[in-house]
């Protein structure tokens, strides 16, 4: 915060003062003391607030990545279904032979997607 200077503190005070101010009762955080009269902001909570923002940002990135992976998986399935369509002369077995490179690549991508999605949606410990 000190790198950003007083502008950052002013911005935080104006936009997030209700979160950053120390409160008593059920919203008290640990044993943080009450601010003195000259204190305009409870700076002891800045690191907590920063950690919350970083966590939220990380969850947004993971959610976006998960959605991208799900879209890739859907496109792979759509491609497979389109190539295996009954309207085509070829059947799925004729197009995707298990010993051919396209089939192996498709299976590898699918396996990686499944593992990564399982990792993303794992329960928090």
Of the candidates 42, 41, 40, the one whose C-alpha atom is nearest the C-alpha of residue 32 is: 42
Contact predicate 45/13, CB 8 Å: no
Tokens 């295996």 — which residue? 84
Taking the CA atoms of residue 95, residue 99, residue 103 and residue 106 in that order, the dihedral angle to the nearest 10 degrees is 170
Output helix, strand, coil percentages for the chain, rounded to the nearest 5: 65, 0, 35
Q: pLDDT tens digits, the chain, 125 residues: what are they?
A: 445 556 665 666 666 555 555 444 444 444 345 555 655 555 556 666 666 667 777 777 777 777 887 888 788 777 777 666 555 444 444 445 556 666 666 667 777 777 777 766 666 55
pLDDT score for 16: 59
Q: How far apart are CA 50 and CA 1, in angstroms?
A: 10
Of the candidates 44, 36, 37, 2, the one whose C-alpha atom is nearest the C-alpha of residue 20 is: 44
């Amino acid at each position: 915060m000190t790198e950003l200077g007083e502008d950052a503190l002013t911005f935080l005070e104006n936009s997030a003062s209700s979160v950053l101010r120390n409160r008593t009762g059920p919203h008290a955080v640990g044993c943080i003391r009450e601010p003195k009269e000259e204190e305009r902001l409870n700076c002891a909570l800045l690191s907590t607030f920063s950690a919350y923002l970083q966590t939220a940002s990380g969850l947004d990135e993971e959610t976006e990545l998960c959605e991208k992976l799900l879209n890739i998986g859907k496109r792979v399935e759509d491609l497979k279904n389109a190539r295996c369509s009954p309207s085509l002369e070829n059947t799925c077995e004729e197009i995707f032979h298990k010993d051919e490179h396209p089939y192996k690549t498709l299976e590898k991508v699918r396996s990686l997607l499944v593992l990564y999605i399982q990792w993303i949606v794992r329960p928090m410990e």
